[in-house]
Amino acid sequence: MQKTLKRKLELSFLVLILFAAAFLGVNYYKSYSFKHNPLPRAYIERIENKERDILKHMRKNFGFVVKFPIVVTKKIPGRLYGLTAYQNGKITIYLNKKVMQESMDYMVKSVIPHEYAHALLFYLHKNTHEKQGHSKLWKETCVALGGIDCRQYVNQKEVILAKLPWIEK
């Protein structure tokens, strides 16, 4: 009887190890595919839809529309979700592809309006050095563009908790 129980435990443990290895393999493949292939069409559509929404808010709240190029890149360092660059009179919004897969909802809801607010203030020549560009005017602009989470830094805990369906928000 001892041998039968031992054999069942060994078999159960082997099945668990195989299941875990398969799970890890699938996740690795998905991550590798995302990093080494063009952005999926569904992601592009979500970015374009959010940009259209921002442009509607811009027309309503500022009386004009100016569209800035959005570039999705793997070249942004670390866990920086996005940044807006103003170089030689050209304004470009960059989004970090490396963090996009794990937090696309946050990227769409918070990061894109955040960066569009920076871009608009660059365009209007109203950027200040106060709080490294995260001034009261920037926050007001972010909200006016439809931003719901207009703050300087990403709340990592919030991003993680948003993925857990059993946690009340």
Could you identify the residue written with the tokens 């569009």? 116
- For residue 162, the model assigns a pLDDT of 52
Place of tokens 């908790």: 161
Confidence at residue 150, expressed as pLDDT on a 0 to 100 scale: 83
pTM of the model: 0.78
**CATH placement of domain 40-161:** 3.30.2010
For residue 67, give every residue at least 6 positions away whose Cβ sits within 8 Å of its Cβ, in sequence order, or none. Answer: 51, 55
Q: What is the pLDDT of residue 163?
A: 47
Query: Do 90 and 123 contact (CB within 8 A), yes or no?
Result: no
Report how far residue 47's alpha carbon sits from residue 73's, in angstroms, rounded to the nearest whole number. 14
Q: What is the pLDDT along the chain (169 residues), one digit of tens a residue?
A: 678 888 888 899 999 999 999 999 988 888 788 778 889 999 999 999 999 999 999 999 999 999 999 999 989 887 789 999 988 889 999 999 988 888 899 899 999 999 999 999 999 988 766 556 788 899 999 999 999 878 776 655 555 545 455 555 4
Given this model, what pLDDT does residue 4 score?
Answer: 87
Domain assignments of the chain as residue spans, ordered by start: 1-37, 40-161
